Structures are given as C-alpha cells and as structure tokens.
Amino acid sequence: MARILSFFTVSIISDSPGAGYFYRKIKDARKVLVLDLGFLGDTVQLIPACYRIRQALPEAELHVMVADHIKDVLKLTPWIDKILGYPRFPKSESLLKDLPRVRQLRAARYDAVINVNGSDRSSILTAFTRARHRLGRVPPKVSLFWKWCYTDWVSAPFGQMPVYRARCQCLDKAGFPPFNEEFGVVVPDELKEKARQRVGLDGGYVHVSPFTTLDYKELPLPLLTAFLNRLQADNPGLKLVLSCAPNERERGKFRELLARLDFEPWRTFSGDLSLLEVAAVIAGARLHLGGDSGAMNLAFMVGSPTFTWFRNYENLVEWMPDGVNHSHVIGEATDEGLQGIGIDEMVGTVQDALAKV
C-alpha cells in the first residue's frame, strides 16, 4: 500500500508553519518516540539526534524504534528508556501485518513522535500513533499523503553533510536547544573485558572489516590481499584482527582471503562475534580499516579512527566519517569491485593514520 501511494507525489520545499516552535510545544512531554526504520548505518547516525533529544527532554520517557535485527546497538545508549524493533530483514512486512504493532503504538499514548527519516513506511506509522505532536523531515520525494502524517515538518538538505549532522539540523529548525553533536554511547566494562579476552590484547591492534554487503563496494580480492600483505610486511609488529559478518557470502570470501594471505593475522573472527562484541572489539582498536559498511559506522560511533575505501557516488559526503581521525580513498564501483585505487596510496594513508594514534 505504501509503495502504491508513493507514486503520487507533491512538492514541499519549506518548513511547516510553526515548526520552529515544535520543541516549545513538547518541552513538558511525558513520553516521546523517535521513529526510524533504517538499517545499522542509519541507526548509528540517528544516535546523536536521540542524545540531543534526551538532553533537551531530561524528564521524558524516551523510546526509539529501529530495524529489529540491529536494535541491540542501542543497548550502548543507556539513556534511552525503551528500544523497539521493527521487522525489516530480510524484507519488511505488509502494512496489514503492522496492525498489532499499530495498536501497541497507540496504546503507548505518546505525547510526541519525532521522525527525521521521512520514509513512507515510517511516516505512516508516525501518523498511526495518533500522537498530538508529530515532527517529520521532508524527504526528497514527497508522497501525496505524506504531510497528513505530521503536525509539523522541517526541510533539511540531503547529500550536503553527514547524515547525523543533517538530523541534528532538523532539531535546530524545530527549536531544540543547542547541544554538542555527540553519540553519548557507553561500552559496558563487562563487554570491554569480553572483547579483551577474545582478542587477547588490551588495545594496540588494528581491526579490519574486509567486506561489505555488496561486491561493488569492496576491494577486489587480489587487491585486498596485496594491500594487507604489504601493510603487514611494512609493519612487522602490527597486530591485525580481521572479522566478517555471519552470512555465507562473507564467510566464503573470508576463507578465501585468509588462504591468500602470506602471514597469519593476530586474530580472525568468521562471523562469530555479536553486534555488540564487534563494537567492543572496534572500540579497543587503535585503527579500523574497511569499506563503507556497518562496521565503519560502529567505529565512528565508538570514537575509533578509521581508514575507509569508498565508491564514488553523488551523496558520498552523507556517510563519510568526518574529523581529523578519519581518512579514506575513493574508487569507481564495478561488478568486480572498486577500481582506480593503488596499493601505495592505501598503505601510505594508513601509515599516516597510524602515526597519529
């Protein structure tokens, strides 16, 4: 149904009347829901906005709804009162199957819902909460029904800044008081200790997440192998910890990569780390290496320096970690993987990054 309705679009280019007073309207709210149905990267990039809402509404009960299969990442945000999951993987359910969930959302009696994603599905759910105040972000394509899902909306540009900054800009335009753009995540001591035991080191290692969800976002296996071999040869004492996702595609590639390396990595994890364990391992690393993936977003979230290989595309700036501790190379996407990236460039950039940490 949402897909059918989305064919009919309208033009909305400005904020709704009174949107700048949204915070003033909800500053005494007792229960607030932040709704975003994106995957891991989207959820990580949502956290600074959630943290700002928490700081602006310290007495409110704060709930956050994200994709069910990655909701555990929000366990690192103890200031969120309740985490709600929405089934998105391997595909979303029909709107008819959402009816029990809609009843639960209505029963919660939220005073306000904040949705800075703006997708059709999340907008429909926002409307169905029947919250008195509902803030949305104008999406690039506005479905005919979209504005009826919200009481207020703001327009923040897409493709011009990191996603987390754009979402915080939405709060600026809605009148929220200024706070630093921080993640506010807390890795529990017991999780840090578990990561130390599994890695066998208390920091000082380099974490490598060699694969992503799609071939064209990855380094071709021969280039990836040559890069890691050269990096290890130039830095004999470097302890590389490699990990991959728990699916057969990545595990198969992981086995092939390990067979091609001419050294033995310090530790390897073939999909046997939980999402929180991956975050803790990355948090203990002096540097994270990898492609444009969820692991990169986790590294950015926990404050670990990153070196990332990206494909060249229009809205790249939205997903690149910003700041002096983050470096990257950019290649052209092909069916065989990223092209136009040289080993010397990669190794040199990593050497510069290691010199900083």
Q: What is the pLDDT of residue 262?
A: 97
Write out the H or E segment, with its range, that includes residue 36: none
Q: What is the pLDDT of residue 124?
A: 93
Tell me what the pLDDT averaged over the chain comes to: 94
**Residue 229 · residue 208 · CB < 8 Å:** no
Task: Let me know the angle formed at the C-alpha of 347 by 183 and 212, rounded to the nearest 5 degrees.
Answer: 50
Taking 60 as the threshold, does the pLDDT of residue 3 lie above it?
no
Buried/exposed code over 300-317 (b: 16+ C-beta within 10 A; e: otherwise):
bbbebbbbbbbbeeeeee
Taking 70 as the threshold, does the pLDDT of residue 298 lie above it?
yes
Whose CA is closest to 337, among 214, 213, 212, 216?
Answer: 216
pLDDT digits (tens, 9 = 90+) for 322-342: 999 999 999 999 999 999 999
Domain 189-356: state its class.
Answer: alpha beta
Taking 90 as the threshold, does the pLDDT of residue 91 lie above it?
no
Task: Band the pLDDT of 34: cuts 50, 70, 90.
Answer: very high
pTM here?
0.93
**Residue 73 · residue 40 · CB < 8 Å:** yes
CA distance 294 to 154: 28
Taking 70 as the threshold, does the pLDDT of residue 9 lie above it?
no
CA distance 45 to 298: 10
pLDDT digits (tens, 9 = 90+) for 123-160: 999 999 999 999 999 999 999 999 999 999 999 999 99
The proportion of the chain whose per-residue pLDDT surpasses 90, expressed as a percent, equals 89
Taking 60 as the threshold, does the pLDDT of residue 22 lie above it?
yes
Q: What is the pLDDT of residue 97?
A: 79
**Mean local confidence (pLDDT), 350-356:** 96
pLDDT digits (tens, 9 = 90+) for 183-234: 999 999 999 999 999 999 999 999 999 999 999 999 999 999 999 999 999 9
Q: Where are the domains of the chain?
A: 2-173, 189-356
CB within 8 A of 326, min separation 6: which ones? 300, 305, 306, 307, 308, 320
Task: Let me know the angle formed at the C-alpha of 72 by 46 and 267, rounded to the nearest 5 degrees.
Answer: 105
Q: What is the pLDDT of residue 38?
A: 87
Taking 80 as the threshold, does the pLDDT of residue 249 lie above it?
yes
Residue listed under structure tokens 């993936």: 293
Taking 90 as the threshold, does the pLDDT of residue 1 lie above it?
no
User: Cα-atom radius of gyration of the chain, to the nearest Å?
Assistant: 21
Taking 80 as the threshold, does the pLDDT of residue 93 lie above it?
no
Q: What is the pLDDT of residue 6?
A: 47
The matching CATH number, chosen from 3.40.50.150, 1.25.40.10, 3.40.640.10, 3.40.50.2000, for 2-173 is 3.40.50.2000
CB within 8 A of 222, min separation 6: which ones? none
Taking 50 as the threshold, does the pLDDT of residue 270 lie above it?
yes
pLDDT digits (tens, 9 = 90+) for 102-129: 999 999 999 999 999 988 999 999 999 9
- Domains 2-173 and 189-356 are alike in CATH topology: yes
